[in-house]
Amino acid sequence: MSLHLQNIEHTVGGVPYIRDVDLALEPGSFNVLLGRTLAGKTTLMRLMAGLEAPTKGRILMDGKDVTGVSVRHRNVSMVYQQFINYPSLTVYDNIASPLILAKHPAHEIDKRVGEIAEMLHIEHLLKRYPQELSGGQQQRTAMGRALVKDADVILFDEPLVNLDYKLREELRDELRELFKVRNCIAVYATTEPNEALALGGNTAVLHEGRLLQYGPTDQAYREPNSVLSAEMFSEPPINILPGRLTDDQITFDGTTHFACDDALRRLPPGDYQFGVRASHLSLTPRAEDDLALEVVVDVAEISGSETFLHVRHPHFALVLHLVGIHELSMNQAINVHLPIHKLFVFDQQGSIVHTPTHLMEGAAHG
């Protein structure tokens, strides 16, 4: 089963929610919809499910036009943020409900529910009611109901957002393993770049109803096609520095000039936007070509064993993602080090013109 959203637009009350999205999902693929709140993730899923019809464009399943076909006549399941279970039914009956409605034989229902419950590690909870379950167990039950149907398309609308970190990590790992053996299309919405990286598969980067980029998740991360895509797929958002390139030098303030590396020398001289990830900045030099920038500390956010350091330069602000605890005072003057060889370069319109080669070839991290 393939799914193709063909030049989809969706407007509600004159307000555009989805803008000219063309997205083709392959059979057996795991796909992440990544974007901030109001990016259009939920709307896109509702269109895939048949809960809403697009204002313009077509939705094809296996090449068949299902644009006007309702959710009742599509083999689609959906899991929401909230734990949506029937309170008067046991876990067993909650999971079995789609099969009961479809009038499957009792022995087949029993077999399928048992398999799904075992897969989700809730086989010992089948006789309990939702109010007797923890949040994670309730979400597993809701996921079981979606999975038992053996749908062609399964949609997950930020299903783990209300769970604690440890439980989210555990369920995320289970989901990833689960879909390695299922021949259906899975679509998972999230606002978190790190969750998209952890899930793998393919990622569609969305912003204000537009599809910015789609492809293998690690590639979309390492090779953003625009400033917007780089900002969406980075936590904290990638730092963007306005600067100017000459034949062999780069400057961010018009007065202090630094030598370019060989890759940047290949670009035509002119004004650009330079991107550097928060994890690539440091308080001490890591390479010979690191630039030392004089900055002032705004705030040091200490989160467990890492620090998010916000600093300002006369021409731009920066965020550093540092390992360990760094207690720095507000307005303290320090140097931060920027690696020239890790710079992304975008033109004035925001399109990518240079991606660091070692980042394209290496594993996605930072």
For 33, phi then psi, to 5°, come to -100, 110
Domain annotation for the chain: domains and CATH numbers: 3-226 (3.40.50.300), 239-361 (2.40.50.140)
Q: What is the pLDDT of residue 359?
A: 57
SS3 193: helix
Helix ranges restricted to H, the chain: 41-49, 91-101, 106-119, 135-148, 165-178, 193-199, 217-222, 227-232, 262-265, 357-361
Q: What is the pLDDT of residue 69?
A: 93
Which residues have C-beta within 8 Å of that of residue 3, sequence separation ≥ 6? Answer: 24, 25, 48, 59, 60, 61, 153, 185
For 306, phi then psi, to 5°, come to -140, 160
Q: What is the pLDDT of residue 366?
A: 45
Q: What is the pLDDT of residue 358?
A: 60
For residue 61, which of 4, 139, 20, 129 has the smallest C-alpha distance? 4
Which residue ranges of the chain lie beneath pLDDT 50? 360-366
Q: Taking the CA atoms of the chain, what radius of gyration do you get in angstroms?
A: 24
As a whole number of angstroms, the distance between CA 158 and CA 34 comes to: 10
Q: What is the pLDDT of residue 365?
A: 42
As a whole number of angstroms, the distance between CA 143 and CA 132 comes to: 17
Q: What is the pTM of this model?
A: 0.89
